[in-house]
């Protein structure tokens, strides 16, 4: 039956899914000797894009960041916009996994692994962007506070250093969080494996997990604590990313609304990407009985909420320059909405705010095609938003004699395409060798009879 025709709310888990069939079905996707054809096609495209990043990065290292379109006054270009974009996507995955674990949302159990895998893959794409933008990439380790012969330490009052420390802590904590949640499922895959090599491989990864009462008691305590840490951490990390801009004196940046503004963007963009990947995994692996229309409907509602919060930020983004007595801020904002960069501004308003209002309709939230298209539009719209935050405000600084126009080059676009390739390559690899559904958490829902 088509999702559009479903009467009322769909079940959390289809009635035919049992504890045994769940373990066998999810483990089989990992243990099968050959990956399906759709996986090879997707991974091949991802790898080709990743090779584009390798070529673009090599060209950048040889010739310097002048191969990009960055110049005075627009000294920050695609790389920084993409960094903020990728961090928002990674943060959205953490919000789905950690925050909604604390609220005990039933739809989270079948989608958290997809969100966490997305989180790590997006964090990798985000992490390389500031390093590439340094110019002298070989000295990136100078950002670390370590004793050295020059007795030179990072400037702790710099928002960029706050950003570095927050990102480092976030990535390390995300890896531990992901691996901890994966342990019971790795043991399940180990027990389902028929070949000795796979038994040893997943057995080593499972770290001796046997599912005893002591193991579960310790696991649940540690996992709850990690979720309680990750939930506020993701808010603080993206708030600090916003402070990178709010701490500067550039027109349009020096605003107290940037921390919540960036967090709202993380909610809507992260949910959009989780929805897109969930639909792909659901159909690619045939998980329709485990990931039902209930999950898509719930995520659609949260994405709608994120769109409304972001719309509130857009109102204040316009109100500040218009109400304040700053000619420079007002000039920069009016140029953004009516001048050179007006197409990107109105495109992101349409994609992020106007079109998502269709999610008020249950028929739209239950349609995979419409939900996928709206989510894809939001991903594009959020990239345009990051572009609008970084580029136009630098191009229209305080002095008119200092104004300029930013023109991205082929290598800017190649870096963007390559970062998408890196993200997809990592995601496809983890999707091939690790369970994409949390077997242990879905088992708990089935055992408690919370499938309706």
Residue-wise pLDDT tens digits, 4-60: 434 346 788 888 888 888 889 999 999 988 889 999 999 999 999 999 999 999 999
Nearest to 333 by CA among 276, 449, 254, 406: 254
Contact in structure between 288 and 394 (CB atoms under 8 Å): no
DSSP of 150-178? T-----TT-HHHHHHHHHHHHHHHHHHHH
- What pTM was computed for the model? 0.92
Q: Which pLDDT value is given to residue 450?
A: 64
Which H or E run contains 325?
Answer: none
CB-based burial of residue 110 (10 Å sphere; 0-12 exposed, 13-18 middle, 19+ buried)? buried
CB-based burial of residue 431 (10 Å sphere; 0-12 exposed, 13-18 middle, 19+ buried)? buried
Q: Which pLDDT value is given to residue 75?
A: 86
- Compute the mean pLDDT over every residue in the chain, rounded to the nearest whole number: 88
Nearest to 79 by CA among 101, 56, 102: 56
Q: Which domains does the chain have, with CATH numbers?
A: 3-448 (1.20.1630.10)
Q: Quote the Cα angle for 441-125-351, to 5°.
A: 80
Widest CA span in the chain: 72
Residue-wise pLDDT tens digits, 265-321: 999 999 999 999 999 999 999 999 999 999 999 999 999 999 999 999 999 888 888
Residue-wise pLDDT tens digits, 344-389: 999 999 999 999 999 999 999 989 999 999 999 999 999 999 999 8
């Amino acid at each position: 039956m088509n999702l559009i025709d479903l009467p009322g709310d769909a079940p959390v888990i289809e009635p035919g899914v049992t504890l045994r069939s769940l373990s066998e079905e999810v483990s089989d996707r990992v243990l099968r000797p050959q990956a399906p054809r759709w996986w090879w096609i997707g991974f091949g495209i991802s790898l080709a894009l990743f090779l584009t990043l390798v070529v673009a990065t090599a060209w950048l290292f040889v010739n310097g960041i002048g191969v990009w379109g960055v110049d005075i006054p627009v000294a920050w270009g695609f790389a920084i916009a993409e960094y903020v974009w990728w961090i928002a996507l990674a943060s959205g995955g953490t919000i789905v996994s950690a925050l909604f674990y604390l609220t005990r949302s039933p739809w989270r159990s079948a989608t958290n692994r997809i969100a966490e895998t997305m989180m790590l893959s997006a964090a990798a794409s985000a992490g390389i962007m500031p390093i590439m933008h340094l110019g002298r990439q070989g000295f990136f380790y100078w950002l670390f506070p370590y004793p050295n012969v020059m007795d030179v330490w990072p400037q702790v009052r710099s928002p960029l250093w706050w950003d570095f420390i927050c990102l480092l802590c976030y990535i390390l904590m995300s890896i531990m969080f992901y691996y901890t949640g994966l342990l019971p499922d790795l043991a399940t895959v180990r027990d389902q494996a028929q070949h000795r090599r796979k038994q040893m491989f997943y057995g080593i990864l499972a770290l001796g997990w046997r599912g005893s009462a002591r193991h579960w008691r310790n696991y649940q305590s540690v996992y709850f604590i990690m979720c309680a840490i990750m939930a506020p951490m993701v808010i603080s990390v993206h708030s600090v990313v916003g402070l990178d801009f709010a701490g500067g004196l550039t027109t349009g940046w020096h605003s107290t609304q940037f921390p919540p503004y960036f967090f709202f963007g993380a909610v809507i963009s992260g949910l959009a990407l989780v929805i897109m990947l969930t639909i792909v995994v659901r159909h690619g692996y045939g998980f329709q009985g485990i990931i039902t229309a209930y999950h898509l409907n719930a995520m659609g509602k949260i994405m709608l909420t994120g769109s409304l919060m972001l719309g509130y930020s857009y109102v204040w983004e316009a109100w500040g320059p218009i109400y304040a007595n700053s000619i420079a801020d007002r000039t920069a904002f009016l140029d953004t909405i009516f001048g050179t960069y007006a197409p990107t501004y109105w495109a992101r308003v349409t994609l992020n705010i106007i079109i998502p209002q269709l999610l008020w309709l249950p028929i739209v939230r239950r349609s995979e095609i419409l939900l996928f298209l709206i989510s894809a539009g939001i991903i594009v719209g959020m990239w345009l938003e990051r572009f609008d935050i970084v580029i136009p405000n630098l191009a229209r600084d305080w002095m008119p004699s200092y104004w300029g126009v930013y023109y991205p080059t082929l290598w800017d676009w190649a870096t963007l395409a390559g970062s998408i390739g890196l993200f997809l390559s990592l995601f496809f690899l983890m999707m091939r060798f690790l369970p994409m559904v949390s077997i242990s958490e879905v088992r708990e829902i089935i055992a408690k009879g919370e499938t309706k």
